[in-house]
């Protein structure tokens, strides 16, 4: 799934199509941040202590977000699956909290 | 009858010696004590005066006794008041120490028999006591405001309050009407803080005569309203507790489920997405949900509790924005629980990804500064070059892998197509072709090339354009350079069949200058 597909999915799922583009973008960005946050939490849970300390050193050395993601991708082979599962989980949580289930 | 005094004043008779001569006899008389000559009337009046004096002394004595009682009553009252107005002075007499001060002293385990002197400057908030401790004189300072719990006094006050409530009219009648002149007598202090003893000596009170508290109790009770009045009994201020947040049972169960799944959480995600030697969970068991549920019960209960909580939350018909906030809050609660084990990596990673996380998590993990978004517009917007830069949100970086795959050009192996060149006859005209030297003089070729390149690129050349020496340049013989295609055609004499590898053909350098000469300058035109 790419960013455009993700956006289309959210617009369809939460009926955002009627909203102005700016508002759509704002909502999509917020949900995207939710997904990113969830991915980070669960990725860090998947790492063992050594990897976690390595990642900490990696971040402390001033690495950028892309490099941190690369680190996670290399440390967690199922990272792409994790991202997809997190998208579904966030989608389910939002749907449940809005009474759409 | 002669008075005796008169008899004593008679002259002695002259004495005559025995020999017949008259001798002078000197009679010495002792001087009698001078005594007033009073008549009977006078003596009677003196007797009357003495009796009057005696009577007056008795009366004054009686009067002084009455005065002492009054003084004692006043002192008893003042002893209570004096501690509050702080006008009392220093004293060596324990009995003169005000009750309140005495209570403070006794509360600090200093007994009456140990007290040497109480020192206090009228009006001061502190007083000192010199007392004997293990045979050594010691000074100790206390505050006059020190609150000493005195249950007896409280009882007394409460009783008096009751009395006051029951018989409020009796109290003013029983209060003795002290003469205004008696009040200065009660002042036992002066401005120096020493005991004003003289006034006390006039009345001649003794320590034993100072009434005890018990004996004065009825009087003090009568006076009590005046004492109680300035006292403000401060009732304990009960701060109204803030209304407790009503936590729904689903929220409670979610909190409990979250706490209980902390240990399983890493194992769950590690086995699901992280490759182990035996393979991931999905590789081992596929998507068998039963196995999954058996292994991670607390995870499932957490998911169920979360679902229930969000369902209950949806009853309030929240907007999408509120729902997003609620889901984010739940994620952060989970991160808060998990962040202990990961040494603050989450906070740092969130900072890297510019995600907003609560300060609690940051401070717990020693991260200083909030990873919040700046409220200021980006520098590009402020400079008015917003359109020139593309600032994408960080979450899109999650999808860069997929998008990069799409954006990459499709690499495919093109099939080899056999080309059969059409044989054509080409007339090749050649004249004055240079003869091929058997052995090339590489040094000469290199030198000439070097010089040509230097000239062509104007490197290390003098500013004035000088015509190079004609001896160095050997004019190339005129030759007709044929097109490359023709050369290829000429070299490939036989047709290429399928399966054969095409020979590598290096194109010969061409010059498209109008005069068919190789001048590098034309490349820059």
What is the pLDDT at residue B495? 57
In sequence order, the 6+-apart residues with CB closer than 8 A to the CB of B462 are none
Chain B 126-155, residues with CB within 8 Å of chain A CB atoms: none
Q: What angle do CA B39, B40, B42 make, to 5 degrees?
A: 65
Spell out the alpha helix ranges (H) of chain A: 3-13, 21-46, 49-60, 65-75, 79-97
At B188 the pLDDT is 45
- Residue B513's SS3 state is coil
Question: Quick check: B344 contacting A, CB < 8 Å?
Answer: yes
Q: How far is A81 from chain B (nearest CA, A)?
A: 7
Sign of CA dihedral B513, B514, B517, B522: negative
Please name which of B406, B269, B371, B339 lies closest in space to residue A65, comparing C-alpha atoms.
B371
| CA atoms of B147 and B74, how far apart (whole Å) | 25
Residue (of B93, B89, B86, B87) closest to B119 by Cα position? B89
Residue spans of alpha helices (H) in B261-410: 264-273, 281-285, 289-295, 297-314, 320-338, 345-352, 359-364, 379-382, 400-407
Alpha-carbon distance B410 to nearest alpha carbon in chain A (angstroms):
18
DSSP classification of residue B189: B
Query: Average of pLDDT values for A63-83?
Result: 87
pLDDT tens per residue across all 525 residues of chain B: 444 444 444 444 444 444 555 555 554 444 444 555 667 777 777 888 888 888 888 888 887 776 666 666 666 655 545 445 677 888 888 888 888 888 888 888 888 888 888 888 888 888 888 888 888 888 888 888 877 665 555 545 455 455 444 444 444 444 444 444 444 444 444 445 444 444 444 444 444 444 544 444 554 455 555 555 555 566 656 666 666 667 788 888 888 888 888 888 888 888 878 765 555 555 566 656 666 666 778 888 898 999 899 988 888 888 888 899 889 888 888 888 886 656 577 888 888 888 877 765 555 555 544 444 444 455 555 555 544 445 677 777 777 654 444 444 444 455 566 666 666 666 665 555 555 555 667 888 888 888 888 888 877 777 655 555 555 555 666 666 655 555 455 544 555 555 555 555 555 555 555 555 556 565 665
CA distance A84 to A1: 8
Q: List the one residue out of A6, A13, A4, A11 whose CA is nearest residue A83.
A: A6
Cα distance between residue B397 and residue B411, in whole Å: 25
Q: What is the three-class DSSP state of B446?
A: helix
Q: Cα–Cα distance between B326 and B324 in angstroms, integer?
A: 5
* pTM for the full predicted model: 0.41
Cα distance between residue B3 and residue A93, in whole Å = 141
Q: Is the complex ipTM higher than 0.95? A: no
Biggest CA pair distance of chain B: 229
Spell out the residues 6+ positions from residue B386 whose beta carbon is closer than 8 angstroms to its own: B378, B380
Chain A contact set for B266 (CB, 8 A):
45-46, 48
Kind plus residue range of the DSSP H or E element containing B180:
none
pLDDT in tens, A23-71: 888 888 888 888 888 988 888 888 888 888 888 888 888 888 888 888 9
Of A45, A90, A100, Cβ closest to residue B327? A90
Coil, helix or strand at residue B141: strand
**In this structure, what token pair is assigned to residue B121?**
């400057």
Cβ-Cβ contacts under 8 Å, A47 against chain B? 270, 274, 342, 345
Q: What is the DSSP string of B90-119?
A: -BS-GGGS-HHHHHHHHHTT--GGGEEEEE
Length of chain B as a residue count = 525
C-alpha dihedral sign at B368, B373, B374, B380: positive
pLDDT attached to residue B86: 75
Interface test with A, best of B330, B352, B368 (most A CBs within 10 A): B352
Alpha-carbon gap: B329 to the closest alpha carbon of chain A (Å): 10
Closest by Cβ to B398, choosing from A35, A46, A47: A35
Contact indicator for A69, B398 with CB cutoff of 8 Å: yes
For all residues of chain A together, what is the average pLDDT? 86
CB contact under 8 A, B353 and A44: no
Of B323, B396, B400, the CB nearest to A32: B396
**What phi and psi, each to the nearest 5 degrees, are found at residue B116?**
-95, -50
- Residue-level pLDDT at B181: 41
B216 SS3 class: coil
Using CA atoms, how far apart are residues A2 and A8, in angstroms rounded to an integer? Answer: 10
Q: In this predicted structure, what is the pLDDT of residue B10? A: 46
pLDDT at B479: 60
Distance (Å) from the C-alpha of residue A28 to the closest C-alpha of chain B?
10
Residues of B within 8 A of A101 (CB-CB) are 311
Of B269, B261, B352, B397, the closest CA to residue A44 belongs to B269
CB pairs under 8 A between A and B: 168
Q: Between helices A21-46 and A79-97, what is the axis angle to 10°? A: 120
pLDDT at B343: 55
pLDDT computed for residue B183 by the predictor: 43
User: What's the token pair of residue B352?
Assistant: 């890297």
Which residue in B270, B396, B277, B361 sits closest to A52, CA to CA? B270
Q: Chain A 21-80, CB below 8 Å of chain B: which residues?
A: 27, 29-49, 52-53, 55-56, 59-60, 63-66, 68-69, 73, 75-80
Q: Is B449 left (phi over 0), alpha (psi -120 to 50) or beta?
A: alpha
């Amino acid at each position: 799934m790419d960013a455009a597909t993700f956006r289309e999915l959210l617009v369809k799922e939460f009926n955002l199509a009627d909203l102005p583009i700016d508002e759509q973008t704002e909502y999509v960005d917020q949900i995207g941040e939710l997904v990113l946050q969830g991915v980070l939490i669960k990725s860090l849970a998947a790492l063992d202590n050594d990897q976690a300390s390595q990642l900490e050193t990696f971040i402390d050395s001033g690495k950028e977000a892309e490099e941190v993601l690369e680190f996670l991708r290399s440390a967690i082979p199922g990272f792409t699956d994790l991202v997809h599962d997190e998208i579904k989980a966030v989608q389910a949580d939002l749907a449940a909290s809005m009474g759409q289930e | 009858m002669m008075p005796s005094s008169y008899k004593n004043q008679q002259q002695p008779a002259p004495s005559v010696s025995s020999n017949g001569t008259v001798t002078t006899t000197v009679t010495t008389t002792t001087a009698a004590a001078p005594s007033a000559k009073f008549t009977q009337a006078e003596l009677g009046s003196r007797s009357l005066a003495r009796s009057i004096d005696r009577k007056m002394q008795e009366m004054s004595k009686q009067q002084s006794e009455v005065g002492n009682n009054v003084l004692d009553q006043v002192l008893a009252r003042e002893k209570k008041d004096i501690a509050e107005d702080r006008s009392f002075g220093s004293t060596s007499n324990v009995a003169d120490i005000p009750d309140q001060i005495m209570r403070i002293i006794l509360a600090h385990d200093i007994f009456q028999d140990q007290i040497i002197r109480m020192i206090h400057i009228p009006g001061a908030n502190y007083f000192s006591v010199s007392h004997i401790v293990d045979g050594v004189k010691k000074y100790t300072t206390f505050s006059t405001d020190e609150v000493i719990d005195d249950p007896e006094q409280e009882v007394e006050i409460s009783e008096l309050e009751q009395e006051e409530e029951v018989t409020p009219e009796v109290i003013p009648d029983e209060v003795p009407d002290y003469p205004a002149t008696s009040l200065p007598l009660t002042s036992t202090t002066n401005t120096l803080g020493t005991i004003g003893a003289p006034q006390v000596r006039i009345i001649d009170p003794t320590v034993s005569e100072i009434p005890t508290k018990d004996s004065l109790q009825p009087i003090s009770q009568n006076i009590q309203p005046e004492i109680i009045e300035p006292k403000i009994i401060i009732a304990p201020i009960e701060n109204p507790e803030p209304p407790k947040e009503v936590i729904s049972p689903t929220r409670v169960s979610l909190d409990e489920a979250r706490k209980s799944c902390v240990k399983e959480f890493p194992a769950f995600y590690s086995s699901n997405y992280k490759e182990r030697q035996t393979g991931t969970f999905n590789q081992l068991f596929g998507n068998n949900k039963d196995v999954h549920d058996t292994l991670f019960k607390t995870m499932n209960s957490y998911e169920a509790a979360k679902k229930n909580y969000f369902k209950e939350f949806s009853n309030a018909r929240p907007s999408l924005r509120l729902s997003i906030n609620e889901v984010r809050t739940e994620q952060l609660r989970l991160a808060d629980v998990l962040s202990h084990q990961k040494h603050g990596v989450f906070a740092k990673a969130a900072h890297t990804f510019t995600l907003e996380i609560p300060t609690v998590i940051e401070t717990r993990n020693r991260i200083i500064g909030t990873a919040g978004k700046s409220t200021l517009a980006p520098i590009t917007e402020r400079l008015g070059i917003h359109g020139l830069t593309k600032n994408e949100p960080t979450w899109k970086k999650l999808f860069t892998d997929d998008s990069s795959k799409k954006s990459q050009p499709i690499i495919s192996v093109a099939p080899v197509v056999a080309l059969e060149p059409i044989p054509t006859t080409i007339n090749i005209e050649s004249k004055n072709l240079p003869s091929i030297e058997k052995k090339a003089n590489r040094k000469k070729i290199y030198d000439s090339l070097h010089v040509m390149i230097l000239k062509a690129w104007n490197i290390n050349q003098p500013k004035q354009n000088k015509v190079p020496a004609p001896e160095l340049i050997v004019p190339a013989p005129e030759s007709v350079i044929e097109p490359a295609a023709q050369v290829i055609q000429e070299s490939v004499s036989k047709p290429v069949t399928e399966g054969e590898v095409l020979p590598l053909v290096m194109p010969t350098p061409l010059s498209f200058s109008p005069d068919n000469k190789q001048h590098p300058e034309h490349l820059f035109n």
